[in-house]
Amino acid sequence: MKTTAAITGVQGYLPDHILSNEDLAKIVDTSDEWITSRTGIKERRIMKDGASSDMAVEAVNGLLKKTNTSPDEVDLVILATVTPDYPFPSTANVLCDKTGMKNAWGFDLIAACSGFIYGLSTGAQFIETGKYKKVVVVGVDKMSSIVDYQDRTTCIIFGDGCGAVMLEPNNEGLGVQDFILKSDGAGRNYLFQPGGGSFAPASHETVDNRMHFVKQEGKQVFKFAVTNMADVSAEIMEKNNLTSDDVDWLVPHQANLRIIDATANRMGLSKEKVMINIEKYGNTTAGTLPLCLWDYEKQLKKGDNLILSAFGGGFTWGAVYLKWAYNS
Ligand code: UT7
């Protein structure tokens, strides 16, 4: 049987500090009622001290322990983020150093909210070809480092968090079965961080104009997200001859409960099959999908059919079909 890439463990990390809707209502003109009804979010976590790599260290150390893996056994680390510790070197490099994964090479992957499914699909290739035995895929974002807490249209959405999975070869046909990944750079100005790159290097002007913060045209992004996340999720089901009865779990990007509901409806799935933790963590960008897997890990059974689906800045979007590989 063909070698497939299976998730053999998942671990998350969330900072302790909770920022509630009530807390935000003291900073900007908003309310718990507005945020809850428009997004489904009640609170999010904020990292007070430390960088993205520090969250990743916590998640990966837990993952290595849980999967009985010594750090020097890991071959490759793919770290999806839009909030790296530095423009360079990569946060994957920092992570490898801090966790002692001294035989691994790694790189950062920028695909915003689709970062984890891009990383998972990429990592799976190295396992399927037989090149590597252990690939760690991390989704981490310290969104509080780029969120403008004077902008009520964005600061209510985002939170900080990290999730990581171990990918290993499987010969029972479990793990990643298929993926559909898409991008459209024409959407780049609807959701982006304008300053700090080579387009607009940091200057007094970029700081004065608040260009180092996330800018989002929410309504436009919402429109594209609802259509594309639902379309690509339905597409991967059709491509693999899956009916709604065949799908055990939808693992959707946690950006807005209304987008999640639209995707589940399109796939014909009832609420019980949809992983949702947006009320606790908000949108942690690259962190949402592995954090869902982590929260729901105990409910997952070997052989379950999962569809992971995301839409985000870029625009980037896509879906992954995988068969869960273990009982916890
Ligand atoms: O994760 C990557 C992809 N990102 C997404 O998928 C996010 C997609 N977008 C969204 O989730 C939604 O567009 C938002 C949650 C960002 C906004 O919800 P919306 O229902 O699209 O609201 P809106 O932008 O149409 O604004 C409706 C009203 C406006 O007031 P007027 O013009 O009707 O008087 C806004 O000024 O709500 C106002 N508003 C707020 N009111 C209270 C906007 N933000 C807030 C707020 N509190 N925080």
Pocket test for ligand 1, best of 34, 41, 184, 219 (most atoms within 8 A of CB): 219
- The answer to whether the CB of 15 is under 6 A from ligand 1 is no
pLDDT at 1: 84
93 as an active site residue: the answer is no
Nearest CA owner, ligand 1 atom 46: 30
Check: CB of residue 318 under 8 Å from CB of residue 310: yes
226 lines ligand 1 (CB under 6 A): no
Each residue's pLDDT tens digit in the chain (328 positions)? 899 999 999 999 999 999 999 999 999 999 999 999 999 999 999 999 999 999 999 999 999 999 999 999 999 999 999 999 999 999 999 999 999 999 999 999 999 999 999 999 999 999 999 999 999 999 999 999 999 999 999 999 999 999 999 999 999 999 999 999 999 999 999 999 999 999 999 999 999 999 999 999 999 999 999 999 999 999 999 999 999 999 999 999 999 999 999 999 999 999 999 999 999 999 999 999 999 999 999 999 999 999 999 999 999 999 999 999 999 9
DSSP letters spanning 52-106: HHHHHHHHHHHHHHHTT--GGG--EEEEE-SS-SSSSS-HHHHHHHHHT-TT-EE
User: Which pLDDT does position 257 carry in this prediction?
Assistant: 97
Count of Cβ atoms closer than 10 Å to residue 243 Cβ: 10
Q: State the residue for tokens 């999967």.
A: 67
**Cα 31 to averaged position of ligand 1 atoms, centre (Å):** 12
Phi first, then psi: give them for residue 69, nearest 5 degrees: -110, 130
Report which of 89, 209, 81 is spatially closest to residue 137, judged by C-alpha positions.
81
DSSP character string of 244-289: TTT--EEEE--S-HHHHHHHHHHHT--GGGB---HHHH-B-GGGHH
Strand, coil or helix: 292: helix
CB 166 within 8 A of CB 11: no
Q: Which is nearest to 206 in space by CA: 215, 195, 217?
A: 195
Report d(CA 48, CA 145) in Å as an integer. 10
- pLDDT one-digit tens code per residue, 3-36: 999 999 999 999 999 999 999 999 999 999 999 9
- Answer yes or no: is the C-beta of 282 below 6 A from any ligand 1 atom: no
Q: Is 253 a catalytic residue?
A: yes
Quick one: which H or E segment has residue 21?
A: helix 21-25
Tokens representing 195 are 């300053």
Q: Which residue segments constitute the domains of the chain, with CATH numbers given?
A: 4-173 (3.40.47.10), 177-323 (3.40.47.10)
Q: Is the CB of 221 under 6 A from ligand 1?
A: yes
Altogether, the residues listed in the chain come to a count of: 328
103 is catalytic: no
166 DSSP assignment:
E
Judge contact between 85 and 284, C-beta under 8 A: no
